[in-house]
Amino acid sequence: MASNSRHYVTPAWRSFLRKQLGVVIFGLALVTGLFGAGGFFRQYASTKNMQEQSASSGSATSANNAQQPNASPQSGQLSSGAGDGGPSNSGRPDWTVPFFRTVQLFLLETGGEDDADHPNNIFLSIARFSASLLFLIVSSAVIVRVVDNVRRLPRQMIQADHVVICGLGEIGLRILEDLHAAGQVKRVVIIEKDSGNTRLEYARARGASIVIGDAAQGDILLEARAVAAREVFAVTGDDGVNLEITAELSQLLDKRPRPGHPLKVYLHILDVSFATSLRPFCSQLHGSRHMTAEVYNVAKTAATNIVAHRLWPYSPYLQEEVAHYVVVGFGPMAQTLCTQLATLAHFPNRKRFRMTIADQKIDAAAREYLHSHPRFTTWTDSEIGVTDFPDEADQWSFNQYPLPADIKVSGEHAIQYVCNAEFVELPAGRSNERFAQHLAKRFLPKNVKPVIFVCGHNDHENFETAVELRNHLKHQGRADVPTFVWLPRQPALARALSEFENLLAFGECAEAASYLEITEPIRDIIGRIIFEDYEEKYGNLHPQTPQDERDKLWAKAPDDFKESSKAAADHMHIKLALAGFQLRRCLSTDKQRLRFDPTAYPKDLRILAKMEHNRWVAERLMSGWRFSAATDPVQINANKLKRLNKDLIPWDQLQGDQQKDFDQVDVVLRECQKVPKFCINRLERQLGTD
């Protein structure tokens, strides 16, 4: 689904009824009450006059009878003061008579034989009309709601192997639209706490069942039959609630075991570090026969996608070139992007990259980040980052920059950190002319390949910052610098950004939160292939090992080992781009799968192996690993638990372990062609060409 087509527009008549129905009902009730009261008082006054006239007539009759004492009442004649409309014993009109007469007129539109004696009561006529209309509207609304609930009830009662979406925000909506496009929306149940969510009407119109309530409550999950579902997506927008949903499902399944395949739960966690810490919890759930859980982070996926899929056209290809990445803003998304750049941005030039990171209060944010990733760049207790970018510091063998004593390790060839980064304070948190001049100076050498990323706190701020920075750089003669702008929530701004040359939007929900991106990410499939190939060659796995044993080995593998294999799968896209190919999901129109032989690129294979080693070193350093010179096999295995490795050195210094990098490159390029759901096609623009 294209982001610019995502409109959940409710039909005008339905929108009017939903928004104005309460106003209409209240108005009709008010009219009925006011005109009914007016009609009552008018009827009361009319009946009172009639009673007074009747009393006067009765008095005159009594006087005549007194003058004629021998006269007797006619048969059937009512005595004075008795009967309907006659005066009461107290001499005052009886109020009950006009009251019941008014009710009679209101309900039956007739008051008896003497209606002709009453004037036309326009107030009661209006009240009768508004009351009838009020009854019709209220009863119709009730009937429609009851019929709708009854229509959906059988499907929800017998529903199984369906999909439950907890939370209909941006991500939940994206999942719903993908399922609708696949023809599976009839098997979707949405749990939404906010009954006023405007997207609910959109979901109903497409046939999804709706349950209003808190998805973290067990009774609500049972109402949606979540324990019998195929998949559950916890995407409420609240990390705590998503975790509670997962825990509640686990408890429900302990009490109500399900037959067949385990329930698959995908919980979205906004906090990247929190998502990482939840991996052991999810791994523990994988040991259950009834449920598995996968943590998903849209920011990390967006950052991974831009580095692995969109950065290579602007990357350094020649060995003398060097990349310089600028990150404006250093909030959670920018920090996630920096981590993915450090892990994946390794290209044929085989060098460290340079970075400029700018934001308000940058010192505090940088130190907090370096506390989690102490080997990201050079720093000390008094200074952080570099002040200049000498060419020799771009080499992986350069280790002259300082690090804290507890971070720096001994070893002449040990690689100590990943990149050369400087941190720049922005007084207003936005780009200005002075900052643009600073960047133009950094971009001045011809061998520098610059790319800018704008990752502020919200879409509007990012859009304005990117446009301002582009204008400032244009005055410096560098309007050609590609600038990626993080716009996750405003597709309209992304479309507007396309009007500017070299301004590119990224992070849209359509790209980073699709159904397949969550349930069948390429990195998971290829990552497992890489893991099993390594275990077959260097571990205890054999080619004849049955699939169930392979599944158990993968489930029990340490989380950082599995993540390392997945990171290698992410980098596969950059390696394929070097050879002029691209891996993507197959379309229904793909009738023939393209094949290529990696051995046809012997020179490229050596470059790819060096790139893979640099990527692996950076990924290990960012994960907290350090160099250790131990070569004894027993000590090497023991060092793995301490996150120590002897191969955290430049490629040229490796002794006998270079083949591992060749093996991984070979298996990635060969096996990715065999995955049924993915196809390879040639790139229109290859790496290193203009």
- Token pair 């294979």 in the structure block, residue: 605
Contacts of 312 (CB under 8 A, 6+ apart): 347, 573, 574, 577, 578, 687
Q: Work out how many domains the chain is built from and give that number.
A: 4
Q: Mean pLDDT over all residues of the chain?
A: 82
Q: Residues 627, 677: one domain?
A: yes
Looking at the predicted structure, is the pLDDT value of residue 592 above 80?
no
CA distance 149 to 151: 5
% the chain with pLDDT above 90 = 44
Average pLDDT of span 10-23: 61
Q: Residues 427, 333: one domain?
A: yes
Binning pLDDT at 50, 70 and 90, where does residue 631 land? Answer: confident
Sign of CA dihedral 547, 548, 551, 556: negative
Predicted confidence at residue 690, as pLDDT, reads 44
Question: Could you give the angle at the alpha carbon of 681 between the alpha carbons of 679 and 684, nearest 5°?
Answer: 155
Higher per-residue pLDDT: 238 or 581: 238
Q: Concatenate the DSSP letters of all residues of 348-375 into one string.
A: TT--PPEEEEEETTHHHHHHHHHHH-TT
Q: Residues 492, 527: one domain?
A: no
Predicted confidence at residue 10, as pLDDT, reads 47
CA distance 177 to 69: 97
In a domain, 36, yes or no: yes
Q: Identify the CA nearest to 672 among candidates 588, 571, 592.
A: 571
Spatial contact of 570 and 308, defined as CB atoms under 8 Å apart? yes
Looking at the predicted structure, is the pLDDT value of residue 403 above 60?
yes
Q: Give the residue from 296, 323, 356 where a domain finishes.
A: 296
Higher per-residue pLDDT: 623 or 20: 623
Cα atoms found within 13 Å of the Cα of residue 494, Cβ hemisphere only: 18
CA distance 505 to 497: 7
Spatial contact of 213 and 134, defined as CB atoms under 8 Å apart? no
Predicted confidence at residue 160, as pLDDT, reads 73
Looking at the predicted structure, is the pLDDT value of residue 20 above 80?
no
Predicted confidence at residue 554, as pLDDT, reads 87
Average pLDDT of span 241-257: 91
Q: Identify the CA nearest to 247 among candidates 267, 262, 229.
A: 267
Between the alpha carbon of residue 468 and those of residues 269, 355, 432, 462, 640, the distances in Å are 32, 20, 8, 10, 48
Binning pLDDT at 50, 70 and 90, where does residue 177 land? Answer: very high
Binning pLDDT at 50, 70 and 90, where does residue 423 land? Answer: very high
Cβ count near 532 (within 10 Å): 20
Q: Residues 216, 229: one domain?
A: yes
Spatial contact of 547 and 684, defined as CB atoms under 8 Å apart? no
Predicted confidence at residue 28, as pLDDT, reads 77
Q: Concatenate the DSSP letters of all residues of 229-253 into one string.
A: -SEEEE-SS-HHHHHHHHHHHHHHH
* Sheet of 483-486, strand order: 420-425, 354-359, 322-328, 448-454, 483-486, 503-506
In a domain, 63, yes or no: no
Contacts of 600 (CB under 8 A, 6+ apart): none
Higher per-residue pLDDT: 54 or 439: 439
Predicted confidence at residue 600, as pLDDT, reads 62
Q: Give the residue from 101, 120, 153 where a domain finishes.
A: 153
Binning pLDDT at 50, 70 and 90, where does residue 154 land? Answer: very low
Binning pLDDT at 50, 70 and 90, where does residue 662 land? Answer: confident
Which range marks the domain in which residue 415 is found? 298-517
Q: Identify the CA nearest to 626 among candidates 307, 409, 395.
A: 409
Contacts of 221 (CB under 8 A, 6+ apart): 164, 191, 215, 227, 245, 248, 249, 252
Predicted confidence at residue 9, as pLDDT, reads 45
In a domain, 74, yes or no: no
Q: Residues 347, 400: one domain?
A: yes
Contacts of 274 (CB under 8 A, 6+ apart): 239
**Can you point out the beta strands (E) in 199-290?**
209-212, 231-234, 263-268
Spatial contact of 523 and 307, defined as CB atoms under 8 Å apart? no
Q: Identify the CA nearest to 165 among candidates 132, 193, 139.
A: 193
Q: Residues 231, 207: one domain?
A: yes
In a domain, 76, yes or no: no
Token pair listed for 402: 């300082």
pLDDT digit string, tens, across residues 334-350: 999 999 999 999 999 99
Binning pLDDT at 50, 70 and 90, where does residue 187 land? Answer: confident
60-64, 73-77, 535-539: which range is least confident on average? 73-77
Average pLDDT of span 523-539: 88
Sign of CA dihedral 277, 637, 416, 324: negative
Token pair listed for 397: 């063998």
In a domain, 238, yes or no: yes
Highest-scoring range by mean pLDDT, 14-23, 640-649, 659-668: 640-649
Higher per-residue pLDDT: 539 or 149: 539
In a domain, 4, yes or no: yes
117-121, 183-187, 384-388, 666-670: which range is least confident on average? 117-121
Burial class (CB in 10 A: 0-12, 13-18, 19+), 287: exposed
In a domain, 64, yes or no: no
Cβ count near 187 (within 10 Å): 19
Q: Residues 542, 588: one domain?
A: yes
CATH classification at residue 344 = 3.40.50
264-273, 350-359, 442-451: which range is least confident on average? 264-273
Higher per-residue pLDDT: 149 or 165: 165
Q: Residues 616, 499: one domain?
A: no
Q: Give the residue from 138, 153, 168 where a domain finishes.
A: 153
In a domain, 528, yes or no: yes
Predicted confidence at residue 468, as pLDDT, reads 93
3-state SS, residue 328: strand
Binning pLDDT at 50, 70 and 90, where does residue 7 land? Answer: very low
Highest-scoring range by mean pLDDT, 271-275, 433-437, 557-561: 433-437
Q: Residues 433, 455: one domain?
A: yes
Predicted confidence at residue 376, as pLDDT, reads 97
Looking at the predicted structure, is the pLDDT value of residue 371 above 50?
yes
Q: Residues 420, 278: one domain?
A: no
Q: Residues 141, 165: one domain?
A: no
Q: Residues 267, 341: one domain?
A: no
CATH classification at residue 200 = 3.40.50.720
Paired strand residues for 192 = 212
